């Protein structure tokens, strides 16, 4: 099928379609007056973007000074397009339910779908940018679009969360810009002025000739800047508020996609340092920030009373684990980090799909008020149980496989680091299982009229993305196709 699509006229460069579709759709959706039509246009465009991304698996466009596709970013482009599609399907049901409660006006509903496509465009642009400046602009634009969506409900808490997100991430992105400029200054004496000194494909070929002191200083700024966007401790303060106060589909793409994009940018700079040979080793810095994120989030999970904040801290935990894996480096740890990026994206977005339906059905986000989900909503409740068990790291799910590989590679190379890593993972596991037991089992509370009228949102449309993601995570825990394994091995070698 992919071969047939690749041969169609106009698909000789699918990357143009991948970028043009969401950008054009954002403008088109902004002028559609009926938000119901807009929700299905949103799904259709997201589906077409995903199909175009699949073409990249067979057709690799030639790199330019602005854009390129290699083994690393193609996997993230396809993952981003897929989760973007499933989240748009969930959004169609979720936003329809929000309109019933008059929580959002027609104008805000139209604005939501336009900003959703704009957000997908910025992430896909950041992933495919060959120019460090274009990548920085795309990440900053992703911040601005999500700030607008986090504040969509216009409540005091939502506006406060949006401002907090905007200020902290803008400071971080500003530091990342300074680091990007320092990298340009390191490349300029070797490669001359202009776009060549900002192109990843050109810089990687001559990175060994760059001034190492400038690269060292640049990486510190980049680590703090993009690390803020990743949500690494102690730079994480924006993340729980942004997840808790924005629409739940946005929480799904924030946790499942945007954090990956910021980490991807950080890893590109790490590759430059690894190619030089005279720079500091970025691994210990990543290991320290990864472990600090793991321990902070593991303890904070025990004290969360809001279901969305609970899984926001879970995202900090897993991004810490991924950062730790890439900090350890080597073929096995990098393989595990790449696998965990994919498994976390699929599982965490599925959890937020379930959380969105749960909070609408129960009329609350308070964990203490949510009981007996497997009794009151069996299909939803057991899907939620499966997703939480997966993110907690139970076998045979794919998250268990990636966590096992991270722990095993750490024990083989640095046994003293394996102990705190295992303790942090066990602490987080205990917190999630205790919370799951409270919400999923027992006698459900009496249901109010608002709660009992919410059957439509828990229908097939809203539940399909949840179960689809869970099926993929389960399959990945049991069997990884040989082409996917070879793909991860190739990227693991690239990362050093």
**Cis bond upstream, residue 253 (ω within 30):** no
- Whole-prediction pTM: 0.93
What pLDDT is stored for residue 48 in this prediction?
95
d(CA 223, CA 267): 9
Q: What is the CA radius of gyration of the chain?
A: 22
Beta-bridge mates of residue 129:
67
Residues 6+ apart with CB under 8 A from 210: 186, 187, 190, 203, 272, 276
Residue of 131, 105, 104, 141 whose CA lies nearest to 23: 141
Task: Name the band, by pLDDT with cuts 50, 70 and 90, for residue 390.
Answer: very high
Cα–Cα distance, 79 to 146 (Å, whole number): 19
Among candidates 255, 396, 252, which has minimal Cα distance to 319?
Answer: 255
Tens-place pLDDT, residues 291-307 = 999 999 999 999 888 99
pLDDT of 60-84, one tens digit each? 888 999 999 999 999 999 999 999 9
- The structure tokens listed for 311 are 């899984």
376 vs 40: CA distance, rounded Å: 30
For residue 455, the model assigns a pLDDT of 45
Please tell me the predicted confidence (pLDDT) of residue 33. 79
Distance CA 334, CA 489 (A): 8
Burial of 185 (0-12, 13-18, 19+ CB in 10 A): middle
Residue 105 confidence class, pLDDT cut points 50, 70, 90: low
The pLDDT value recorded for residue 462 is: 82
Band (38; pLDDT cuts 50, 70, 90) = confident
pLDDT over 60 (residue 346): yes
In contact, 496 and 271? CB cutoff 8 Å: yes
Mean pLDDT of 365-372: 90
Instruction: Render pLDDT for 208-248 as a digit per residue (tens, 0 to 9).
Output: 999 999 999 999 999 999 999 999 988 888 999 998 888 89
Q: Which residue has the higher pLDDT, 432 or 151?
A: 432
Provide mean pLDDT across the span 175-179: 95
Model confidence pLDDT, tens digit, residues 305-342: 899 999 999 999 999 999 999 999 899 999 999 999 99
pLDDT of 195 > 60? The answer is yes
Report CA 322 to chain centroid distance, whole Å: 12
Model confidence at 263: pLDDT above 60: yes
Residue 449 is predicted with a pLDDT of 42
Checking if the pLDDT of 429 tops 90, the result is: yes
* The pLDDT of residue 152: 84
Residue 18: closest CA among 71, 65, 79? 79
Contacts of 465 (CB under 8 A, 6+ apart): 86, 87, 89, 90, 349, 350, 353
pLDDT at 193: 85
Peptide bond into 152 cis (omega under 30): no
Q: What pLDDT, on a 0 to 100 scale, did the predictor assign at position 470?
A: 95
Q: What one-character-per-residue DSSP string does 229-261 give?
A: HHT-TTS-THHHHHHHHS-HHHHHHIIIIIHHH
**How confident is the model over 405-426, as pLDDT tens digits?**
999 999 999 999 999 999 999 9
Phi-psi region of 131 (alpha: psi -120 to 50; beta: other; left: phi over 0): beta
Of the pLDDT bands very low, low, confident and very high (cuts 50, 70, 90), residue 2 is very low
Q: Which candidate, 317, 337, 340, places its Cα nearest to that of 326? A: 337
Query: Residue 275: enclosing H or E segment and its boundaries?
Result: helix 259-276
User: How much of the chain exceeds pLDDT 70, in percent?
Assistant: 93
Residue 480 exposed, middle or buried by CB count within 10 Å (0-12, 13-18, 19+): middle
Q: Measure the CA angle with vertex 292, ends 288 and 293; round to 5°.
A: 120
Question: The tokens of 307 are what?
Answer: 């279901």
Q: What is the mean pLDDT of the chain?
A: 89
Q: Best-predicted range by mean pLDDT among 88-97, 107-116, 241-250, 467-476? A: 467-476
Predicted local distance difference test score (pLDDT) of residue 364: 85
Least confident of 111-120, 157-166, 383-392, 450-459: 450-459
| Integer Cα distance of 470 and 70 in angstroms | 28
Question: How far apart are the C-alpha atoms of 370 and 357, rounded to whole Å?
Answer: 12
Q: Are 337 and 260 in contact (CB under 8 A)?
A: no
Task: Identify the burial level of 251 via C-beta atoms within 10 angstroms of its C-beta, where 0-12 means exposed, 13-18 middle and 19 or more buried.
Answer: buried
């Amino acid at each position: 099928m992919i071969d047939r699509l690749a041969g169609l006229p106009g698909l000789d460069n699918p990357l143009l379609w991948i970028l043009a579709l969401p950008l054009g759709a954002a403008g088109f959706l902004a002028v559609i007056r009926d938000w119901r039509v807009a929700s299905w246009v949103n799904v259709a465009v997201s589906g077409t973007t995903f199909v175009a991304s699949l073409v990249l698996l067979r057709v690799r466009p030639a790199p330019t000074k602005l854009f390129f596709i290699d083994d690393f970013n193609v996997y993230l482009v396809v993952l981003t397009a897929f989760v973007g599609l499933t989240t748009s399907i969930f959004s169609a049901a979720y936003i329809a339910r929000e309109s019933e409660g008059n929580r959002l006006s027609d104008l805000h509903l139209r604005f939501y779908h336009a900003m959703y496509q704009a957000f997908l465009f910025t992430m896909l642009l950041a992933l495919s940018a060959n120019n460090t400046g274009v990548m920085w602009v795309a990440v900053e634009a992703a911040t601005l679009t999500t700030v607008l969506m986090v504040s969509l409900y216009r409540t005091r808490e939502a506006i406060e969360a949006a401002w907090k997100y905007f200020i902290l991430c803008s400071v971080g992105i500003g530091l990342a810009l300074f680091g990007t400029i320092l990298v340009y200054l390191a490349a300029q004496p070797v490669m001359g002025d202009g776009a060549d000194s900002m192109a990843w494909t050109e810089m990687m070929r001559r990175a060994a000739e760059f001034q190492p002191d400038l690269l060292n200083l640049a990486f510190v700024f980049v680590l703090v800047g993009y690390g803020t966007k990743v949500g690494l401790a102690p730079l994480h303060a924006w993340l729980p508020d942004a997840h808790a106060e924005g629409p739940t589909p946005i929480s799904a793409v924030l946790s499942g996609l945007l954090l990956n994009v910021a980490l991807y940018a950080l890893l590109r700079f790490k590759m430059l340092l690894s190619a030089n040979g005279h720079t500091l080793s970025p691994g210990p810095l990543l290991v320290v920030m990864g472990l600090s994120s793991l321990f902070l989030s593991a303890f904070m999970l025990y004290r969360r009373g809001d279901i969305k904040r609970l899984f926001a801290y879970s995202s900090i935990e897993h991004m810490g684990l991924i950062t730790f894996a890439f900090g350890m480096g080597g073929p096995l740890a990098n393989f595990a980090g790449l696998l965990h990026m994919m498994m976390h994206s699929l599982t965490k977005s599925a959890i937020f799909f379930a959380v969105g339906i749960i909070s609408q059905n129960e009329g609350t986000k308070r964990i203490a008020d949510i009981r007996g989900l497997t009794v009151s909503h069996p299909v939803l409740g057991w899907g939620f149980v499966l997703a939480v068990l997966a993110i907690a790291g139970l076998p045979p799910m794919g998250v268990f496989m990636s966590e096992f590989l991270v722990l095993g590679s750490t024990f083989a190379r640095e046994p003293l680091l394996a102990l705190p890593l295992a303790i942090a993972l066990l602490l987080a596991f205990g917190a999630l299982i205790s919370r799951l037991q409270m919400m999923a089992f027992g006698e459900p509370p009496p249901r109010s009229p608002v709660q009992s009228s919410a059957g439509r949102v828990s229908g097939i449309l809203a539940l399909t993305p949840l179960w689809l993601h869970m099926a993929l995570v389960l399959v990945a825990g049991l069997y990884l196709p040989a082409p996917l394994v070879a793909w991860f091995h190739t990227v693991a070698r690239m990362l050093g």
